[in-house]
């Protein structure tokens, strides 16, 4: 498994992420771990290459690895920033299926995404849920929901 490239050597999708380090690791017989995947997924997300990030996320299981909270939160944040709230919440549910509980970062991403999408009522509901779990958010949200 390697990130897909096009003829110019760039990661498929027109991004400028370089996969030379990945190739060198694999060439040396080093198996990518979850930290490697997290770094690549984060890079794709920062470049707004969500489709490529999601493919890598889905490929984690092929390497006999399990996504961790960082992996999930990176993808959830990318989905929410792209206005893909359904995907963000679906991934949050998958997180629970894997036995990983949403943390402050997870709620922070979802609440910020809901606010960006003008869904203040849902953001307030999620904030209340978060407080019921005794989690404290670390980003200031608009006073309208607090």
pLDDT at 19: 64
Domain boundaries, the chain: 20-140
Q: Which CATH architecture has domain 20-140?
A: Alpha Horseshoe (1.25)
22 to 40, 45, 74, 98, 99: CA distances (angstroms): 9, 17, 20, 26, 29
31-45 per-position pLDDT tens digit? 889 999 999 999 999
Query: Global pTM?
Result: 0.78
Under 8 Å CB-to-CB from 99, ≥6 apart: which residues? Answer: none
Residue 21 has a pLDDT of 72
Residues 30-88 have pLDDT tens digits of 888 999 999 999 999 999 999 999 999 999 999 899 999 999 999 999 999 999 999 99
pLDDT at 25: 80
pLDDT in tens, 104-141: 899 999 999 999 999 999 999 988 887 776 655 555 45
């Amino acid at each position: 498994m390697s990130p897909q490239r096009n003829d110019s050597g760039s990661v498929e999708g027109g991004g400028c992420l370089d996969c030379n380090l990945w190739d060198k690791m694999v060439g040396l017989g080093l198996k990518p771990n979850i930290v490697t995947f997290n770094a690549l997924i984060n890079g794709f997300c920062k470049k707004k290459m969500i489709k490529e990030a999601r493919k890598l996320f889905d490929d984690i299981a092929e390497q006999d690895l399990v996504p961790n909270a960082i992996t999930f939160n990176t993808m959830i944040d990318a989905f929410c920033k792209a206005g893909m709230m359904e995907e963000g919440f679906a991934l949050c549910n998958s997180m629970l299926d894997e036995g990983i509980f949403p943390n402050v970062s997870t709620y922070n991403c979802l609440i910020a995404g809901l606010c960006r999408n003008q869904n203040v009522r849902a953001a307030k509901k999620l904030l209340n849920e978060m407080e019921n779990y005794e989690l404290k958010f670390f980003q200031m949200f608009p006073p309208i929901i607090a």
